[in-house]
Structure 1
Amino acid sequence: MSKKPRRKLGDVASGIREMAAPTPVSAVEPIHEATRPRENVDASGVRPRGFNLRKERVEKPHQSVYAHPVVFRELRKIAAAEGVKPQELYREGLREVFRRRGMDFDALDRGEEI
């Protein structure tokens, strides 16, 4: 049983040099039209109808509320009974807090300063 011959550093380096050599342009296959990325504009430079109709989403800071899980369960029940999401109930509570203090929650939520 004979051992495989060990590769020498020179052999490895020459293989790396061959791999790193630039490929001639004539050897590169042209991109098929079906695989080319589609542009968002047509030939006249106008976006197709219905493209990107949604407004850009603006991220708002997240703040956690800590309460017993029973509180959140009851809030979910109330929200389900009223046909809204719990988030709307949280906002309703914030509106009430700011109203009692003479501030407009909706104006603040739009980013308006007092």
Structure 2
Amino acid sequence: MEKKLKYKYQSDATIRQSHNIYAPFDNYHDYCNWIVMQAVELNNMVITLPPNVIAEIWIHDVHFRQVFRRMAYMAHFVHYEKEVQRLLPWCNVDIITYCTRFDNIKKEKLVSYFVK
């Protein structure tokens, strides 16, 4: 006689969340909305400043750099770079070219990359 295989189905929230590529966000739209919110945060930081001072902020403000890197990586993950470029009119950097730096970084090392 053939032995029938029994499958154990688990519907645990942590298991479902671990398979979500947009974790900790629920879906693609929440993920993209967070990218837009980070772009708005960057715009609010530099809205009243002349363009030559923005480079000084990049050099001296760690929080500004971290938000920009995180936003750029998230945009690169879902190929959202062109939209982000349009959201940041003050940014003279080509974000598509900037995001190529994330291609060869392993996911385990990304956390330490963003903490710098």
Specify the TM-score bucket, using the shorter chain as the normaliser. Answer: under 0.3
Q: TM-score scaled to structure 1, two decimals? A: 0.24
Q: TM-score scaled to structure 2, two decimals? A: 0.24
Higher RCO (CA < 8 A, seq sep 6+): 2
Bigger-Rg structure (1/2):
1
- Point out the structure with the larger helix share: 2
